[in-house]
């Protein structure tokens, strides 16, 4: 590692610089782009937060979790209920009155967002402690079951969640600043976590649990840590999604959304934060770009009606093609690194810090 | 609750459970051999129902013939998806195959939306199936009996296939040890294709019976029954056919009895399956009839 220590300072400088550049670009985009493009970019950034969470659990720790939707739902409802104005709550709960404890509660957005993440994390801890004893597919099935139970509970807890009608008029706080800010913070936290001894322990568990345990890695502690951190990001991402669409209802949090986030993570590359960021934006933009296929077209005086469903058909084909030809995802386990970028890479060390254990 | 009413609920429960079991077997067989959670299986179920719908509503065929054609069509489609989406990934990481299955499911569901529209369509019920049998004080729809009988026959046939025929032996061998079975000159491609054929046709039967029971079809109808059948497969021990049957029956029983005995909690009906799943997994991590370590068909 000689010669690397000099590079460290430069790396931090470059990272700091790139964050400033991202902020400048965000400011520029928020001021000049039209609302439609802003919404697409925002949802891409929200996917980053969500996908980073799942990648931490599955990509870095190797724990197959299909419960993301459940944590997202908890986050979305928490933040929506905490920030909604009293009058709007009354308008929503017209069949069954709202629980009195929640009726007059209203707090600012940022604390609500953090509480949303913490609620999801708390639930992640409650679920994770018993369930993380399971391995592989069985863990996936149990977490999937948990996520569906959350949805059924939301459907039935009328006084708190307004049941299947959902909540409308959730304050639409999410602009590009919030979405990108949360994405940057999540990537930063995840990168810090992954590149410390915790991260090396997580990767060791992913590669071989028994070997990891025999060199003194506490399986239970690290698995729960990753799971809780993943749940936190899912909660924050879910909350952002609720404020982005200014409505929250149980149908938003079916297994489909978990599959979408999982697809982003796998296509980006399991265990690559860089891949996750690229795939999140690519996914958001592709989904919108494919929309033109469903729009009615006009050629001369002949009008071709739009074909509803065509977008998802093409999307399915794109996913199949990507997965068949890029089995490791776009980035594999590699990360973007300044060293590789500056061609200062030392012989024998892999390009990404994300590679070795 | 009188004995008569209990028997009536029991019949309902067994017929629902038998439906879950039919679909669960498809999950379990594919998982047993390829270790793949085939999330496209629920969509195959839907396609079975739509194929039957098309035969009657568009081609005006007689219902019995339609059902058989629909089952054949679905079986071929199941094999085709395996060829296109799973076979190229046989040596890839398992997660790639799972994502591929999710892609297939998106694709097929939306093709259905393109061809038939997203709105629910009424499903034709042949007059026999709308009749109700009166046995003493119990009223049981003929359809419930039909579902139980059809499922029982198919289960017996499947057991015969698996334990008394050569292709069935090949399937069990592959499920036991994929690599060794391959070395023993078992035609892997053919056997996997057969597995998908059998699984998909059972899903199609399930889809048609489901559409007869709840006479309305829509492109996403396979979602919940598919997910529950999958839960049934895991509950009974994924990879085990008796397990899938037991799991299906348990789910059917739990659901119907919850609604019958605790009507206040009927909103939680869909949670029963998942609560049962988590409980069983925590107590016996490989499912009720699943074996430790080696999973068998």
The distance of A133 to chain B (nearest Cα, Å) reads 8
Structure tokens at B130: 């709308």
Structure tokens at A294: 């469903």
- Does the structure show a pLDDT above 70 at A348? no
Q: What would the DSSP string read from start to end of A97-143?
A: PPPHHHHT----HHHHHHHHHHHHHHHHHHHHHHHTTS-HHHHHHHH
Q: B172: how many CB neighbours lie within 10 A of its CB? A: 18
Top pLDDT among A46 and A29 is at A46
List the single residue in B103, B111, B231 with the smallest CB-CB distance to A145: B231
- Does the structure show a pLDDT above 90 at A29? no
Q: A329: how many CB neighbours lie within 10 A of its CB? A: 28
Task: Note the pLDDT of residue B229.
Answer: 94
Cα–Cα distance measured from residue A317 to residue A325, given in angstroms and rounded to the nearest whole number: 12
List the single residue in B110, B234, B275 with the smallest CB-CB distance to A312: B110
| B263 interfacial to chain A (CB closer than 8 Å) | no
* Contact indicator for B47, B74 with CB cutoff of 8 Å: yes
CA distances from B188 to B160, B176, B200 (A): 21, 13, 18
Mean pLDDT of B115-140: 87
- Does the structure show a pLDDT above 50 at A356? no
The answer to whether the Cβ–Cβ distance between B95 and A270 falls below 8 Å is yes
The distance of B108 to chain A (nearest Cα, Å) reads 7
- Does the structure show a pLDDT above 60 at A65? yes
Task: Note the pLDDT of residue B201.
Answer: 96
- Does the structure show a pLDDT above 70 at A1? no
Residue owning tokens 């369930």: A131
Residues of chain B numbered 160-199 and touching chain A (CB < 8 Å): none
Residue owning tokens 């179920």: B45
Cα–Cα distance measured from residue A59 to residue A266, given in angstroms and rounded to the nearest whole number: 8
Cα–Cα distance measured from residue A82 to residue A103, given in angstroms and rounded to the nearest whole number: 10
- Does the structure show a pLDDT above 50 at A2? no
Which of these, A153, A127, A129, A135, lies nearest to A68 by C-alpha position? A127
Top pLDDT among B8 and A306 is at B8
CA distances from B81 to A237, A329, B68, B86 (A): 34, 22, 20, 7
Angle at A36 between CA A31 and CA A37, to 5 degrees: 65
Q: What is the pTM of this model?
A: 0.89
Count A/B contacts: CB-CB distance under 8 Å.
129
- Residues in chain A within 8 Å Cβ distance of B222: none
Residue-wise pLDDT tens digits, A174-207: 889 999 999 999 999 999 899 899 999 999 999 9
What backbone torsions phi and psi does residue B138 show, to the nearest 5 degrees? -95, 140
Name the band, by pLDDT with cuts 50, 70 and 90, for residue A354: very low
């Amino acid at each position: 590692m000689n010669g690397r220590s000099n590079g460290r300072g430069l790396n931090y400088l470059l990272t700091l610089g790139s964050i400033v550049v991202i902020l400048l670009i965000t400011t520029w985009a928020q001021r000049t782009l039209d609302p439609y493009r802003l919404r697409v970019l925002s949802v891409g950034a929200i996917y980053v937060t969500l996908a980073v969470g799942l990648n931490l659990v599955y990509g870095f720790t190797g724990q197959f979790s299909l419960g993301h939707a459940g944590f997202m739902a908890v986050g979305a409802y928490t933040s929506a209920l905490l920030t909604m104005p009293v009058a709007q709550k009354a308008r929503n709960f017209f069949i069954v009155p709202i629980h009195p404890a929640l009726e007059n509660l209203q707090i600012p957005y940022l604390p609500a967002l953090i509480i949303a993440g913490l609620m999801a994390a708390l639930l992640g801890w409650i679920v994770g402690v018993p369930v993380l004893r399971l391995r592989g597919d069985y863990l996936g099935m149990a977490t999937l079951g948990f996520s569906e139970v959350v949805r059924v509970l939301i459907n039935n807890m009328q006084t708190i969640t307004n049941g299947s009608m959902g909540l409308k008029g959730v304050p639409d706080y999410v602009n590009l600043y919030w979405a990108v800010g949360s994405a940057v913070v999540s990537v930063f936290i995840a990168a810090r976590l992954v590149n410390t001894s915790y991260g090396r322990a997580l990767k060791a568990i992913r590669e071989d649990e028994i070997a990891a345990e025999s060199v003194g890695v506490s399986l239970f502690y690290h698995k729960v840590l990753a799971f809780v951190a993943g749940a936190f990001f899912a909660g924050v991402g879910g909350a952002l999604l609720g404020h982005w669409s200014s409505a929250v209802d149980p149908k938003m949090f079916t297994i489909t959304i978990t599959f979408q986030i999982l697809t982003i993570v796998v296509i980006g590359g399991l265990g690559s934060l860089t891949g996750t960021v690229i795939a999140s934006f690519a996914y958001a933009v592709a989904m919108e770009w494919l929309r033109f296929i469903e729009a009615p077209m006009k050629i001369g005086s002949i009008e071709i009606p739009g074909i509803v469903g065509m977008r998802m058909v093409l999307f399915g084909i794109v996913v199949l093609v990507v997965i068949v030809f890029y089995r490791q995802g776009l980035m594999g386990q590699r990360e973007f690194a300044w060293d590789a970028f500056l061609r200062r890479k030392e012989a024998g060390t892999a390009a990404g810090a994300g590679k070795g254990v | 609750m009188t004995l008569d009413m209990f028997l009536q609920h029991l019949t309902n429960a067994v017929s629902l459970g038998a439906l879950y079991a039919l679909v669960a077997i498809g999950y379990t067989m594919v998982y047993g051999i390829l270790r793949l959670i085939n999330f496209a299986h629920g969509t195959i179920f839907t396609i079975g129902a739509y194929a039957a719908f098309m035969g009657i509503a568009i081609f005006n065929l007689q219902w019995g013939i339609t059902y058989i054609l629909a089952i054949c069509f679905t079986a071929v489609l199941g094999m085709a998806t395996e060829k296109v989406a799973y076979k190229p990934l046989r040596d890839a990481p398992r997660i790639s195959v799972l994502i591929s299955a999710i892609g297939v499911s998106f694709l097929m569901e939306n093709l259905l939306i393109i061809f038939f529209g997203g709105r629910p369509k009424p499903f034709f019920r042949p007059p026999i199936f709308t009749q109700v049998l009166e046995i003493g004080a119990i009223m049981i729809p003929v359809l419930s009996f039909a579902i139980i009988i059809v499922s029982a026959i198919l289960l017996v046939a499947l057991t015969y296939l698996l334990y008394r025929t050569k292709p069935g032996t090949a399937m069990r061998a592959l499920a036991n040890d994929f690599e060794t079975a391959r070395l023993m000159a078992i035609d892997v491609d053919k056997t996997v294709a057969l597995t998908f054929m059998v699984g998909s046709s059972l899903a199609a039967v399930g889809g048609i019976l489901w559409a007869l029971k709840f006479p309305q079809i829509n492109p996403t109808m396979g979602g919940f029954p598919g997910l529950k059948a999958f839960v049934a497969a895991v509950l009974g021990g994924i990879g085990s056919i008796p397990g899938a049957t037991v799991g299906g029956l348990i789910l059917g029983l739990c659901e119907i009895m919850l609604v019958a005995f605790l009507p206040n909690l009927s909103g939680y009906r869909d949670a029963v399956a998942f609560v049962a799943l988590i409980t069983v997994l925590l107590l016996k991590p490989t499912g009720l009839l699943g074996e430790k370590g080696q999973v068998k068909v």
